[in-house]
Amino acid sequence: MFPILKVEIQSAVNYLKNLRTQTIVSLVIIALFAVIFLPLIIITMFNFLLLAEESILSSIMVMISVLIMIILSLITVNRIVKDMFMNENMQLYLTFPVKAVELLRAKFIMQLFTGILPVTIPIGLIVGVAFTFRYSSILPLVSAILYFMLLSILTLGLSYIIVFLVTKVASPKKVSEILTFIGGFAAVLPYLIITFGVVNIETVIKYLPNPAGLYEGFIYNVNLLEFTVFTLLSIILSIIIFVSLTQVVKNGFLKGWITTSGRSRKAGSTSLDVNSVKGALLQKDIKMTLRDFKEWAAVLPQYFIPFVVYFVAYNPVASDGYPEMNMDGVIISVSITGTVIISIFVSASNTARDARHYSMMRALPLKAADIVDSKFIYNFITIVPVYMLMSLGVFLFTDVSAAGLFYSLVFILMTALAVIPIGMWFGAKFPVVNTNKPTERMDTGASIIMMIVILILIFSTGFMSNVFIDADGDINHRMTGIMGVVMLALSAGIYFIVTKTVKNIYHRGLKIVYKG
């Protein structure tokens, strides 16, 4: 096992040494975000555990454990598929006199130490240190680390169970696509739970189970007897689960529990019931979106970003000291900023997708105007109705007035009219085709520019909401009407100017960057 681990570690080191510039830039940006936000998250979580009522501590542990297992298992499934099926090293290992059990254990250890433990151990340290200060004992720190190590092994086991179940009906490659799609939702799951729990995490916690017998005496309010028993049980369970997982996965591969091809495809209908060139192009885009989960994975996260705007704007956890912000102003301002966020990213991604089959499109007797017009219609019908439904959901679950909802829907329409062409310009101007990473569709520089715009919009939402509210806390209909007229004029002008520019880009030809 150890020689295999040495090879795996060296392979990981070589991978890091040969990172592309784009990946390095992305990692630097992520690191900067981590430096800014991680201290705030750590302090918030630490204080919450330190000051929460003891009666809900078990529920808090349940919530943390469930979220960790859901999110990390979905992320790990993608890693498992790549390691076990799409990595050529697996075939190479099998040519050597290596025992399958040793190979699997080495893979498990790498998957734990490079994917799961870097998340669970820091969380365990935060929980342990908080309870150590709370109860003036070092034992909670030790027990918390042991508990989250056990949870890590359980998460790895859950990931392999998901692989075995899903690959019964789909190929491993398809599983990776499906779980990437679901992972986009899982990544924002904690936020959605907190936000729709009447913007108060304690509201969510009170509906969770409270297994005090499982955690009290071991994780918090520790006594020596229960600490010793649970520590031994955690160690024994970790070993049993790890060894059992090795045997189960080995049998799964040997007995064919995992299919390499998935279900046979059904013969699809080839009828083309269209009345125009634009209709045919629109049908093409819709079918490309529905054909597999890669298309959803490329744009799904952007649909959830506006919820972060709502969180920053009015959630008392994020905006401490401003819990009474007027929700009418919030929904109107977020209808503008959120539509910009969704429209610019999604329309850019959908437009850049044409780069993959651009040579075929050039060979067909298609006008640039028809391509751009159909692309605008496609982006409009896949962005505007979805975001309108999101606004309707906010209206139903918060104290937004009917007038606030009306203005929100109007501003969504006008904003999309202007921003969708801008996103299409980014997609047509900076397209990328990456054979190794299909979801990468645009140049790094363009993506960074759009991300900066999004950050500015997110943090300006609170200030923007004040424009639509008068001194009495009601909607300022006069100012809102003036803003609407100005936006309508600007949107119409931007639409005609930018769409003409995009048509010229298509007419001259896309300048595509190929990678992979």
Q: 442 has which bridge partners?
A: 431
Q: Give the residue extent of every domain in the chain.
A: 2-254, 277-515
Cα torsion 496, 501, 502, 508: sign = positive
220 three-class SS = strand
Q: Are 185 and 300 in contact, with CB atoms under 8 Å apart? A: yes
Half-sphere exposure of 260 (CA within 13 A, CB side): 7
CA distance 133 to 156: 31
Concatenated DSSP letters of 149-194: HHHHHHHHHHHHHHHHHHTTTB-HHHHHHHHHHHHHHHTTHHHHHH
The number of beta carbons lying within 10 Å of the beta carbon of residue 378 is: 23
Pick from 268, 254, 206, 255: nearest CA to 59: 206
Q: What is the pLDDT of residue 172?
A: 57
- Tell me how many degrees the CA angle 362-365-370 measures, rounded to the nearest 5: 90
**What are the residues whose beta carbons fall under 8 Å from the beta carbon of 359, sequence distance 6 or more?**
none
Cα–Cα dist 34/28, whole Å: 10
pLDDT of residue 259: 47
φ, ψ for residue 442 (rounded to 5)?
-135, 160
The angle subtended at Cα 344 by Cα 380 and Cα 468, nearest 5°, is 85
Tell me if 327 sits within 8 A of 400, measured CB to CB: yes
Q: Given this model, what pLDDT does residue 173 score?
A: 59
The 8-class DSSP code of residue 138 comes to S
Residue 366 has, within 13 A of its CA and on its CB side, a CA count of 24
10-residue stretch averages of pLDDT, the chain, 516 residues long? 75 73 74 80 84 84 85 79 68 68 81 88 92 89 91 88 68 58 54 47 66 80 84 86 81 57 43 61 74 58 61 48 62 82 83 80 80 89 84 77 87 91 88 72 72 69 71 81 89 92 88 76
